[in-house]
């Protein structure tokens, strides 16, 4: 986990930015509290420990933290998938893919139970703050796309597959693969006019009240370079479950989304136990 010092930043992109879409504006200043963020995208090596649940009995070993107090047996577990969710792209050191946002959040709850430390997905604002890493350019390395192969896997250099994490250069915060490789889940619901309607600018979080759409960030190995920009946004889609044979469709897997994964965060200030549950829920009810 990499420490990210909180502060203010300009969220969104300038109108003149090449490749910009309307959902990236208007630009607005946002304040973010300090947090830790995973240096790498979560890999299958780690994610499969959650799917298989064979190490759950080790929860009570010495060294557990005191931020979270839940029994790991109470954490819902992912169903075994019907098809190869790796899509043959690799396991050891490769980013886990094809999971739903709900599954990614339940991984965070499981990891929290196992370690005693509180983990969750990043908010969309936290993700962009970490990606920009103090920059104001289209990418964390500048505006010159001739450098992009040094920092990212895209549809121009990936050969149609994801790659092991950490093979490209990191951003100024020391985070790898923030541009490309796999698109990353955030906590937020997606709406094209989110920024235009935003009222809260301190640690904003757009709570989902329905399954679709949710927001992903960073672009992937299948994305064009312009969709790897720091401010680029992506909405989830139910068509990602097209080959799922279950009725109803699985809450855990997107059978047709080998381009999505996630990374986790741990806030410096641990939320209350009641608040913790908010971040691991499938969706929220309207107040």
* pLDDT band at residue 284 under the 50/70/90 scheme: confident
Tally of CB atoms within 10 A around 6: 16
Task: State the pLDDT at residue 62.
Answer: 66
Given a cut of 50, is residue 287 above it in pLDDT? no
Residue 156 makes CB contacts below 8 A (sequence gap 6+) with 148, 149, 224, 225
pLDDT digits (tens, 9 = 90+) for 149-165: 999 999 999 999 999 99
- Asked if residue 177 has pLDDT above 50, the reply is yes
Helices (H), the chain: 44-52, 101-115, 124-132, 148-151, 194-197, 273-280
Q: What is the pLDDT of residues 186-240, one digit of tens each?
A: 999 999 999 999 999 999 999 999 999 999 999 999 999 999 999 999 999 999 9
d(CA 267, CA 273): 14
Q: Which residues contact 19 (CB under 8 A, 6 or more apart)?
A: 138, 224, 226, 227, 229, 232
pLDDT of residue 92: 97
pLDDT band at 253 (very low <50, low <70, confident <90, very high): very high
Nearest partner of 34 among 124, 119, 126, 120, judged by Cα: 126
CA 28 from centroid of its chain's CA atoms: 22
How many Å apart are CA 181 and CA 161, to the nearest integer?
8
Q: Euclidean distance between the first and final Cα of the chain, in Å?
A: 34
pLDDT tens, residue by residue, 124-139: 999 999 999 999 999 9
Those residues with Cβ within 8 angstroms of residue 26's Cβ, 6 or more apart along the chain or in another chain: 12, 195, 196
The token pair at 156 is: 């121009």
What is the reported pLDDT for 165? 98
Question: Is the model's pLDDT at 286 over the cut of 90?
Answer: no
The tens digit of pLDDT for each residue in 69-122 reads: 999 999 999 998 888 999 999 999 999 999 999 999 999 999 999 999 999 999
Q: Summarize pLDDT for 18-61 with one digit per residue, the tens.
A: 999 999 999 999 999 999 999 999 999 999 999 999 999 998 77
Q: What is the C-alpha to C-alpha distance for residues 284 and 205, in angstroms, rounded to an integer?
A: 12
H or E element at residue 235: strand 233-235
Q: Closest by alpha carbon to 158, among 232, 239, 236, 94?
A: 94
**229 touches 138 (CB < 8 A):** yes
Establish how many alpha carbons lie within 13 A of residue 261's alpha carbon, considering only the half-sphere containing its beta carbon.
Answer: 33
Is residue 219 within 8 A of residue 179, CB to CB? The reply is yes
Alpha carbon distance 211, 50 (integer Å): 22
Q: Using an 8 Å Cβ cutoff, are 155 and 231 in contact?
A: no
Residue 80 burial (10 A CB sphere; 0-12, 13-18, 19+): exposed
Residue 285 reports pLDDT greater than 70: no
The confidence score (pLDDT) of residue 200 equals: 92
């Amino acid at each position: 986990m990499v420490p990210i010092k909180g502060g203010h930043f300009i969220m969104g992109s300038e109108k003149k930015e090449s490749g910009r879409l309307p959902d990236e504006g208007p630009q607005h200043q946002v304040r973010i509290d300090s947090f830790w963020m995973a240096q790498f995208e979560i890999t299958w090596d780690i994610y499969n420990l959650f799917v298989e649940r064979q190490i759950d009995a080790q929860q009570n070993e010495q060294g557990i933290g005191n931020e979270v107090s839940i029994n790991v047996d109470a954490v819902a577990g992912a169903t075994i998938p019907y098809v190869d969710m790796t899509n043959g792209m690799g396991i050891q050191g490769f980013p886990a893919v094809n999971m739903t946002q709900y599954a990614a959040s339940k991984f965070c709850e499981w990891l929290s139970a196992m370690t005693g430390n509180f983990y969750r997905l990043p908010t969309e604002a936290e993700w962009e703050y970490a990606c920009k890493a103090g920059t104001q350019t289209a990418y964390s390395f500048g505006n010159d796309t001739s450098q992009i192969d040094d920092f990212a896997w895209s549809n121009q250099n990936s050969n149609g597959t994801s790659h092991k994490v950490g093979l490209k250069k990191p951003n100024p915060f020391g985070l790898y693969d923030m541009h490309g490789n796999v698109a990353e889940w955030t906590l937020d619901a997606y709406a094209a006019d989110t920024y235009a309607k935003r009222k809260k600018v301190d640690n904003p979080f757009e709570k989902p009240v329905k399954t679709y759409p949710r927001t992903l960030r960073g672009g992937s190995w299948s994305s064009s370079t312009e969709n790897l920009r720091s401010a680029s946004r992506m909405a989830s889609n139910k068509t990602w479950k097209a080959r799922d044979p279950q009725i109803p469709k699985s809450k855990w897997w997107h059978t047709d989304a080998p381009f999505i994964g996630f990374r986790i965060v741990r806030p410096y200030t641990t939320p209350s136990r009641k608040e913790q549950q908010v971040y691991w829920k499938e969706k929220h009810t309207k107040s």
